[in-house]
A and B are shown apart, each in its own frame.
Chain A
Amino acid sequence: MPMTQDDILTKVRTTLCDALGVDEDEVTLESTLVGDLGAESIDFLDIVFRLEKNFSLKIPRGELFPESLASADSGFVKDGKVTTEGIAELRKRMPHADVDKLAADPRVQNIQELFTVGMIVKFLQNKLAKSAAA
């Protein structure tokens, strides 16, 4: 039987509690990893390691959390805002994220708000559906 969104959230919650030392009730679908749960850059790698183990999946580097999107030479940022090309690139690389929200207010500092618990759950739903179909 495929895992429901709730099943996935429960496991993601355990994963984030272990990786970030947060309490279970802090982890909701809306929580942002950096803003609400205090994740730092190295924690993203830790989260990927733990998700792979807990869900018996392989998550290629950069698939869940794309790297260097906001760096100066990425060409996707201008005057502190993500460019139209940048938004298009994000939609392509992060179909699991709520890019519409960023598109409405594309300031660079809002990029990290894409990284929510709900985004991880959606990513895993897609990933698990794909591996079940294969």
Chain B
Amino acid sequence: MRWIWIDRFLELQSGVQARAVKNVTMAEEHLHDHYPGFPVMPGSLMLEGMAQTGGILLGEKNQFKHIVILAKVPNITFHSEVVPGDQVIYTAKLVDARDEGGTVECTATVGERLVAEAEIMFAHLDQSDPTFGAIDQKNFVFSMNLMSVMDVGRV
């Protein structure tokens, strides 16, 4: 499985806001276990989708010079459920960006319905950092694989 929890970017206003779409389908294995007979998209994966949208927004502001790591989620609230067939739109707004990292405010909506909102903080890690080698690749918000969502649908 590829750890890509957004399907496509809809909008990227550099340094301001990004929007991405995620279509939920019964082809996703975990929905058969979460829960049997009652498929609901796990909140943790919505958070991941918001982090990927917000992480690319922050990374792009610095021309992807830094490795962006999800550092902390100071706030997250889930308002309702997402089920197969739903189209989730993640909107991330950059509220703080600096050398050490940055913060985004995100929402997840299905149509007019607000599903979740979160504040997510990222830290930057540079390859020169002595702790660089110790970091698990999975912590990275973007890799070249994830970046492909920005090109989906482009010729």
Residue positions of A touching B, CB distance < 8 A: 18-19, 21, 42-43, 45-46, 49, 53, 61
* Contact bitstring B71-102, A, C-beta under 8 A = 1, else 0: 11010000000000000000000001011110
Classify the interface of chain A: helix, strand, loop or mixed. Answer: helix
B71 / chain A contacts, CB cutoff of 8 Å: 42, 45-46
B123 / chain A contacts, CB cutoff of 8 Å: 42, 45
- Given contact pairs A19-B74, A43-B72, A46-B121, A53 touches B101 in the complex (Cβ within 8 A): no
Q: List 9 A-B contacts (CB under 8 A).
A: A19-B74, A42-B121, A45-B101, A45-B123, A46-B71, A46-B121, A49-B96, A49-B98, A53-B96
A21 / chain B contacts, CB cutoff of 8 Å: 74
A19 / chain B contacts, CB cutoff of 8 Å: 74
Residue positions of B touching A, CB distance < 8 A: 71-72, 74, 96, 98-101, 103, 121, 123
- Given contact pairs A45-B123, A46-B121, A61 touches B100 in the complex (Cβ within 8 A): yes
How close is A34's CB to chain B, nearest CB, in angstroms?
A: 15
Contact of B103 among A43, A49, A61 (CB under 8 A): A49
B101 / chain A contacts, CB cutoff of 8 Å: 45, 49
Classify the interface of chain B: helix, strand, loop or mixed. Answer: strand
How close is A98's CB to chain B, nearest CB, in angstroms?
A: 26
A42 vs B96: C-alpha distance when bound (angstroms): 16
A23 vs B96: C-alpha distance when bound (angstroms): 25
Q: Which A-chain residue is minimally distant from B103 (CB atoms)? A: A49
Which of A21, A46, A53 has the most CB atoms of chain B within a 10 A radius of its CB? Answer: A46
14 further A-B contacts with Cβ under 8 Å, apart from A19-B74, A43-B72, A61-B99, are A18-B74, A21-B74, A42-B121, A42-B123, A45-B71, A45-B100, A45-B121, A46-B72, A46-B74, A46-B121, A49-B98, A49-B101, A49-B121, A53-B96
A61 / chain B contacts, CB cutoff of 8 Å: 99-100
How close is A55's CB to chain B, nearest CB, in angstroms?
A: 14
Q: Which B-chain residue is minimally distant from A68 (CB atoms)? A: B130
A42 vs B74: C-alpha distance when bound (angstroms): 11
B74 / chain A contacts, CB cutoff of 8 Å: 18-19, 21, 46
A42 vs B123: C-alpha distance when bound (angstroms): 8
A43 vs B96: C-alpha distance when bound (angstroms): 15
A51 vs B71: C-alpha distance when bound (angstroms): 18
How close is A23's CB to chain B, nearest CB, in angstroms?
A: 15
A45 vs B123: C-alpha distance when bound (angstroms): 9
Would B72 and A42 count as touching, CB distance under 8 A? yes
How close is B128's CB to chain A, nearest CB, in angstroms?
A: 15
Q: Which B-chain residue is minimally distant from A61 (CB atoms)? A: B100
A45 / chain B contacts, CB cutoff of 8 Å: 71, 100-101, 121, 123
